[in-house]
């Protein structure tokens, strides 16, 4: 009947309703999504996508506060952060990057984008070994460089039900957890690089910003 499964008025209304409801959440929403139906009609709606701060924005240096209660506001923040991360696309996002200074991170390193991990008040209890991997960051678009991290970490956090959990991670997941916890502490991966590289990166991003302005 039509090219887009479920592309009926009621579904579109549902999405609009969901998008409007999301406006009650944290942060600001910027992305206008357009969908063209098979009959050439057009629906427009706002995705609940959050704006991602770009290095060297001073707000990336803010230290996030612990979450005192895992409530619906926090669960909505996690959902919006996850959508923002998947859309970017990225494999991790810290609340700091969307200008919400609470200890919340989302990670999904799966290729299928169905292994979402939300860590609230994450704390590294133990770490071991070292690994050097190429890192990038949604707040530092187009820049990749090698950073040394612990090879494995044990992290304690609260899940979306407010229950305490402990996770042992290695390889990419361990890198991701350390990278995102850094954000909550006001650090970006380029802070691990030499001063000279940091200056080069700032100049390159400033140039990019002028081109896209």
Of 152, 69, 123, 136, the closest CA to residue 97 belongs to 136
Is 137 a binding residue for Ni ion by CB under 5 A? The answer is yes
What are the beta bridge partners of residue 153? 127, 169
Taking the C-alpha atoms of residue 193 and residue 160, their distance in angstroms, rounded to an integer, is 34
- Candidate list 87, 134, 164, 180, residue with the active-site label: 180
CA dihedral of residues 95, 116, 125, 184 (deg, nearest 10): -10
Taking the C-alpha atoms of residue 131 and residue 174, their distance in angstroms, rounded to an integer, is 10
The span of 70-78, 121-129, 131-139, 167-175 binding Ni ion (CB under 5 A) equals: 131-139
Q: Are 169 and 150 in contact (CB under 8 A)?
A: no
Residue 137 CB, nearest approach to Ni ion (Å): 3
The span of 68-76, 120-128, 134-142, 158-166 binding Ni ion (CB under 5 A) equals: 134-142
137 vs 175 by CB, closer to Ni ion: 137
Residue 52 CB, nearest approach to Ni ion (Å): 9
Is 52 a binding residue for Ni ion by CB under 5 A? The answer is no
83 is catalytic: no
Which of the 8 DSSP states describes residue 119? E
Residue 118 CB, nearest approach to Ni ion (Å): 16
Is 205 a binding residue for Ni ion by CB under 5 A? The answer is no
Residue 83 CB, nearest approach to Ni ion (Å): 17
What's the token pair of residue 9?
């008025």
137 vs 155 by CB, closer to Ni ion: 137
SS3 103: coil
Burial (0-12, 13-18, 19+ Cβ within 10 Å), 158: buried
Residue nearest to Ni ion (CB): 137
82 vs 137 by CB, closer to Ni ion: 137
User: Annotated catalytic sites, by residue?
Assistant: 180
> Applying CB under 5 A, which residues contact Ni ion?
137
């Amino acid at each position: 009947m039509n090219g887009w499964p479920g592309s009926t008025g009621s579904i579109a209304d549902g999405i609009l309703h969901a998008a409007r409801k999301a406006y009650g959440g944290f942060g600001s929403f910027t992305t206008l999504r357009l969908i063209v139906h098979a009959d050439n009609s057009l629906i427009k709606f706002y995705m609940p996508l959050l704006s991602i701060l770009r290095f060297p924005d001073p707000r990336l240096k803010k230290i996030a506060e612990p979450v005192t209660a895992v409530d619906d506001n926090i669960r909505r923040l996690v959902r919006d952060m996850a959508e923002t991360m998947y859309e970017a696309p990225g494999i991790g996002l810290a609340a700091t990057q969307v200008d919400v200074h609470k200890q919340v991170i989302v990670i999904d390193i799966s290729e299928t984008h169905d292994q979402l991990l939300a860590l609230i008040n994450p704390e590294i209890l133990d770490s071991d070994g070292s690994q050097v991997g190429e890192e990038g960051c949604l707040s530092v678009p187009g820049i990749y460089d090698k950073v040394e991290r612990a090879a494995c970490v044990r992290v304690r956090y609260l899940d979306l039900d407010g229950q305490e959990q402990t996770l042992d991670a290695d390889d990419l997941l361990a890198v991701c957890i350390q990278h995102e916890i850094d954000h909550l502490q006001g650090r970006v991966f380029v802070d691990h690089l030499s001063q000279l590289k940091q200056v080069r990166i700032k100049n390159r991003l400033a140039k990019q910003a002028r081109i896209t302005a």
